[in-house]
Structure 1
């Protein structure tokens, strides 16, 4: 049992990334933070815009609710990307492979949520195209 604890401890000490990889990962962290913060800011601004449009009666409340639901789907991947950036930054600072593993899990979740979103948008396109074709022929 003691040997297993020693192996885990040694693995956490030996981070296993060379200086070039750490430098590249720092750049990835920078861009992940930048994209996620900019994306979250865009979601907030669009939410305010939809709210103002409803108040000024330029948009129907139902349309604004649909837009807010769509924006909620955009928030999920942005949060995963932001948490990845924070954890990866922490892993680099502390040279901790366990934190880096958690960061990569969030990056995996980011790509998974982007993939699911793309599938949903593709299905929505098919539905819209099918409804246009059906209504044009009737």
Structure 2
């Protein structure tokens, strides 16, 4: 572990006992497994996004008298964009998780401190991305709730 103080680099060595190494090895296996599942899910999102336009336009054509009409293809484009956006946002934390697992495995295999440090850097990036996304999501929820309250109050005063 490196600690930085006023442009001077102080290096403090940490030693991992066997149980800590075992925990980290198991964490690397689970992180790798979850990253593979994440890549598969991203693939599903992309495939669905690519076919969403065709699916919704065909549903619109099957409706009696073309009730969906233009809405079907527009809705399909919105769904396509939404799922591609989700796939793109989902890619980064999955990538960081995969790199964490791969570098951690390499660190233990070759007893490489630089690979260990790199793995923890990717883990930090993974959690940082997830944290920022949580803040953004909570902010959207708060705006939605405030907007719903404003609309409800405005509707109550108009009656």
Equivalents in 1 of 2:14, 2:145: separation in Å? 51
Structure with the bigger percentage of helix: 1
Regions of 4+ moved over 4 Å? none
Q: Secondary structure at the match of 1:56?
A: helix
Query: Retained in 1: the 8 A contact 2:45–2:86?
Result: no
Query: Retained in 1: the 8 A contact 2:52–2:79?
Result: no
Q: Deviation of residue 15 (structure 1)?
A: 8.4
Q: Secondary structure at the match of 2:15?
A: coil
Q: Deviations over 1:51-80 (max 9, x none)?
A: 222112254202320232122111111100
Equivalents in 1 of 2:137, 2:86: separation in Å? 10
Within-5 A mapping of 1:1-138: 16-57=15-56, 59-136=75-152, 137-138=154-155
The unaligned stretches of length 5 or more in structure 1 are: 1-10
Q: Deviations over 1:66-119 (max 9, x none)?
A: 232122111111100000000000000011111101110110111100100100
Structure with the bigger percentage of strand: 2
Higher CA-based Rg: 2
TM-score (norm 1): 0.81
